Amino acid sequence: MDNLNTYMTETTPQPAAKNVRANDNDGVLTAAHFVLEKFCKQALESNTRGPAELTKLATSFGINRSYRTLINALNKYKSSGLASLKRKEYSGKGESRSFSESALIILQRHYVSSLVMKNAYEDMHKELRSAAVSFIDISTGEEFIIKNGLLHEHPAELQGLTLPSSYSTKFIEGIYRLPGYDPSRIDNNSFELRVGSYKSACRYLGTLDVNEPALFYGRYGIHDYRNKRQHTMKLNYSHLLPGEYIVGDGKQLDVIVISEDWRRVYRPWLMGWYDMATRRYCYELAVHEDSTSIANSLSVAIQQWGVPQSVKTDNGSSYKSGRFQEMCRFFNIEQKFATVKLARAKPIESMHNIIDNLLKSAVGYTGNKYVEMPLDTRDRIKLAIGAQRDAKKYAKAVKENTGFSFNIADPDARLKRSKRRLMHISELKELLESKFDEYHERIHGGLKEDKLGRQAYNINCKDESVNELGEKINCPNGRYLYHVKQGFKPVAAEPGIVALYASNFELRTVQLKTGINLANGEYWHSKLSGIAAQRVVIRYTSVGCRNVYVFHSEELQKVRERGQLDKDIMDSLKFICIAKLQTIIDYNDESAYKDELILQRAEEKAIRDALQNNASLNVSGVIDPPQSNIIQLTGSETDVQVIKQAESEIIEESKPKKNKYKDVDLF
């Protein structure tokens, strides 16, 4: 048993032997321990001695250890048996002894913010140098004075006139001494922070799980943590009434269309509302997402669904000011605001995915962040803008979602018969209406899973309305029909008030015979003939609506374009009439044909009677309306009596009673 103090070089294992380590698992018996036990028994039975013989025997068992290690294992086995071969667990396992706890906290914080080990290690040193007064290099024992975040090699020179040697990137293992350190004090542990080497820091940071909730929260912030780590709650809305709780949001559509005036192409905005009780959806197309377009979309919801009880929207300024806020205040609609940057806080976001799928096959589809723009769309845009050099410009604008609007340069892109042009905005609306009609009749997955939707599949259901509707109760229109059967009635609003708040307005010139032109439609009223060739402001709820509200003033005649309309001119406007959309009447439709002809002849008779009775006419030729009923556009204080009277006249004129115009000669 000589050369016990000498460590033998490990021999190379034989090809057939397995490299067995007896201390792979701390404190746990493994297969390697039993192999080592067999070696010890064989060595003791054969009384093997000497370094060469003992290592040769160990190699035959696949054990590659030094002679000293083998002797220690034999001594332990002789005294305590197999249990003594287990390696004792280290009490400080998992702890970093080269770093103080405070230094580790700083290191981890910087790593969470950058996820780069080297940057975290250097930022830890920089932060400690901003608070410490000196630094000791453990490898050399040299002490550096810290001033302005730099390590100064010669502290004595700080008091002199010579420039001391300094280090700004000396990031090594050492000890930082904080203010308050006293060499005469016995215990200075609270004023010293140990910092390990970069390799030690890498070993520690490598054990951290970046996806662990606390680290993920610190790295990505509260918004990403809520969206990607928190579970989504399932809420039941079946107990709500239709229109009781609606959610609104704007979405820029992934499709390019031609504007109403056929002069430019752009990506429209869809300002939509989502009824949580029935999953119905209504919308308004707009050029921009602002308070006016939001108010217009809410007016569409009020006309179709009635006045809602509460609305939930974003926290943007457009939802907290302007026409939309005035509209909510006037109709006593409770405003709720979604949590910032939390997609699931607005259930309407799921509707946006449905809209994306509906438009994937539409003409002018731009693609999205997952789908490239189709080649057909690129060719149509090139035709519209008429310049090959702008190809990269529009592709970048669409991809970055920074806005897209170009004037049409090629006249062929405006031709309605052209097969290479983009969709017109009116054609997009027709497409969306047909798509949403299908959506409202389709079974909705969210409705199937709520409490009321499950009753449709319950054989023991005793609700007669559910049994009558069957599975149709789980489509939006079917769910609304169920509530109607239960006695639900929507809260209606005055159309005149809604139209005034839905401040969609345009500047138009009245034509003598056709009246007012808007979006390829003609709007006419008999009072317009008296202000022919003059400019008027029209208000309407949506493109293609049946009626527009006409306003006129003398100050308005000085305006040449819409951009010149200011507050004083808008306040001076006076209500004239409600112009009705003119439709083509079939010649064989005698009822519609005769009714329209009767109205024209009645108008002529009223003018003749007025002339015979010397009725007072104003300069424009229109009978003066009562001055007390002239409307002023002042928000919630608007007087709508004249508008209400005009609306009632339209209803009466559209359905003339029998013999009402018995004295009128048709021919």
The pLDDT tens digits for 154-175 are 655 455 545 556 778 888 899 9
Distance from C-alpha of 148 to C-alpha of 130, rounded to nearest angstrom:
7
Q: Over the Cα atoms of the chain, what is R_g?
A: 42
- The model's pLDDT over 353-365, given as tens digits with 9 standing for 90+, comes to 888 888 888 888 8
Task: Of 307, 300, 302, give the one whose Cα is nearest residue 283.
Answer: 300
Range ranked top by mean pLDDT from 152-166, 287-301, 384-398: 287-301
Confidence of residue 287 (pLDDT cuts 50, 70, 90): confident
Tokens of 401: 């979602």
Residue 216 has pLDDT above 60, yes or no: yes
β-partners of residue 524 are 580
Least confident of 27-36, 267-276, 352-361, 498-507: 498-507
Tell how many helices (H) and how many strands (E) occur in the chain: 22, 21
Q: Which has more confidence, 592 or 372? A: 372
What pLDDT was estimated at residue 502? 60
- Please check whether residue 623 is in contact with residue 615, taking contact to mean a CB–CB distance below 8 angstroms: yes
pLDDT (average), residues 631-648: 54
Query: Strand 192-195 vs strand 504-509: parallel, antiparallel, or unpaired?
Result: unpaired
pLDDT average, residue stretch 495-512: 76
Structure-block tokens of residue 475 = 């489509």
pLDDT digits (tens, 9 = 90+) for 593-634: 666 677 677 767 766 776 666 444 444 444 444 333 323 334
Residue 2 confidence (pLDDT) above 80: no
Q: 483 or 112, which is more confident?
A: 483
Handedness of CA 564, 567, 571, 576 (dihedral sign): positive
Range from 6-15, 109-118, 279-288, 461-470 carrying the lowest mean pLDDT: 6-15
The pLDDT value recorded for residue 224 is 74
Average pLDDT, the chain: 77
Cβ-based neighbour number of residue 137 at 10 Å: 15
Could you give the CA distance from residue 418 to residue 410 in angstroms, rounded to a whole number? 12
Per-residue pLDDT band at 246 (split at 50, 70, 90): very high
pLDDT at 624: 45
What would the CATH number be for the domain defined by 245-443?
3.30.420.10
pLDDT digits (tens, 9 = 90+) for 393-422: 666 666 665 556 777 776 777 776 677 788
| The amino acid at 504 | N
Q: Name the residue type at position 306.
A: G
Locate the domains of the chain by residue range: 1-91, 101-206, 245-443, 495-654
Q: For the chain, what percent of residues have pLDDT higher than 90?
A: 12
User: Please, are residues 27 and 89 in contact by the beta-carbon 8 Å criterion?
Assistant: yes
pLDDT tens digit sequence for 510-538? 998 889 988 778 898 888 888 989 999 88
Q: What is the mean pLDDT of residues 300-325?
A: 85
Q: pTM for this one?
A: 0.58
Percent of the chain whose predicted confidence (pLDDT) is above 70: 76
Please, is 499 exposed, middle or buried when counting C-beta atoms within 10 Å of its C-beta (0-12, 13-18, 19+)? buried
Instruction: Check if the beta carbon of residue 552 is closer than 8 Å to that of residue 573.
Output: yes
Write phi, then psi, for 490 (nearest 5 degrees): -70, 155
User: Minimal CA–CA distance to 577: which of 649, 519, 502, 637?
Assistant: 649
| From 10-19, 76-85, 496-505, the region with the lowest mean pLDDT | 10-19
